[in-house]
């Protein structure tokens, strides 16, 4: 292999300068797109997070279900409560191996604060078919402010491996 000459710090050629400029401008453009999207875009990754514990979050979920339960439905042969809270309120979703609890019901066009946390392992909240994804960690109360824009039934799948029943972990969100 050839070692470089003693003095290899030489000015760049015209082609190199041009290429570097074009590439750098493209980098700046891509960078500007990120804050631009944050302020102009209609959908962004939430950052609001609170510290919690599995038992504390569990109590909140149970109280929430008791207060706003409107019906029942079954997923994987298990009967789950269907819960609808008034628009603008805090709603809670609990992830545990291998269940999303409860089934949430929303009104189209209204705003809700959706809290998600895990009781045990890491889970992945993945709303299908709209493909909205959030990481769910135990000890972290992750809050997403949401406005449902279309009606229908949506499926929540777990997209983080959470031991061997992972593929059976599905839940439901209903928008009316």
Partner 1 sequence: MAALAPTTPWIKGAKADYRVCGVTTLKVDMQTERLIIANAVMAVVCLVLGGIAALLIALTRWQAIHLLDATWFYRLLTLHGVDMLVAWIVFFEMAGLHFGSTALLNARHAAPKLAWSGFILMAVGGLMANFVILFDPKSIVTFTAYVPLKAHPLFYLSYILFAVGALITVITFFINLVVAKREKRFEGSLPLAVFGLMTAAILAVYTLLEGAAAIVPAFFWSLGILPDYDPGIYRNFFWGFGHPAQQVNLAAMVAIWYMLAQMTVGIRPLNEKFSRLAFILYLFFINLGSAHHLLVDPGLSFAWKAVNTSYAMYLAVLGSMMHAFSIPAAMEVAQRAKGHTKGLFGWSRNDRGTNPASALLSCP
* Span of 15-23, 56-64, 71-79, 99-107 interacting with partner 1 by CB under 8 A: 15-23
Interface segment toward partner 1; rule CB under 8 A; list 14-22, 82-90, 106-114, 145-153: 14-22
Concatenate the DSSP letters of all residues of 75-88 into one string: ETTEEEEEE-PPTT
Span interacting with partner 1, options 26-34, 72-80, 87-95, 105-113, rule CB under 8 A:
26-34
CA 32 to chain centre: 23
Tokens of 100: 């999303």
The token duo for 37 is: 């999207």
The residue count of the chain comes to: 176
Is there binding between residue 162 and partner 1 (CB under 8 A)?
yes
Please say which residue, 124 or 171, places its beta carbon nearer to partner 1. 124
What is the total count of residues that contact partner 1 (CB under 8 A)? 50
Terminal Cα distance for the chain, rounded: 70
C-beta of 95: minimal distance to partner 1 in Å?
Answer: 12
Q: Are 116 and 125 a contacting pair, CB within 8 Å?
A: yes
- The residue within the footprint of partner 1, chosen from 8, 14, 74, 129 (CB under 8 A), is 8
């Amino acid at each position: 292999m050839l070692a470089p000459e003693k003095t290899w710090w030489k000015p760049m050629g015209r082609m190199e300068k041009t290429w570097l400029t074009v590439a750098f401008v493209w980098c700046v453009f891509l960078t500007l797109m990120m804050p631009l999207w944050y302020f102009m875009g209609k959908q962004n990754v939430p950052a609001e997070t609170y510290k919690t514990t599995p038992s504390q979050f569990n109590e909140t979920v149970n109280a929430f279900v008791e207060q706003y339960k409107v019906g029942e439905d079954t997923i994987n042969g298990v009967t789950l409560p269907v819960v609808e809270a008034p628009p603008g309120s805090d709603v809670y979703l609990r992830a545990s191996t291998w269940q999303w609890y409860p089934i949430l019901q929303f009104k189209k066009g209204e705003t809700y604060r959706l809290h998600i946390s895990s009781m045990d392992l890491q889970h992945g909240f993945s709303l299908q078919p709209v493909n909205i994804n959030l990481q769910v960690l135990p000890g972290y109360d992750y809050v997403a402010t949401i406005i449902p824009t279309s009606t229908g039934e949506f499926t929540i799948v777990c997209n983080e491996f959470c031991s061997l029943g992972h593929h059976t972990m599905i839940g439901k969100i209903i928008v009316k």
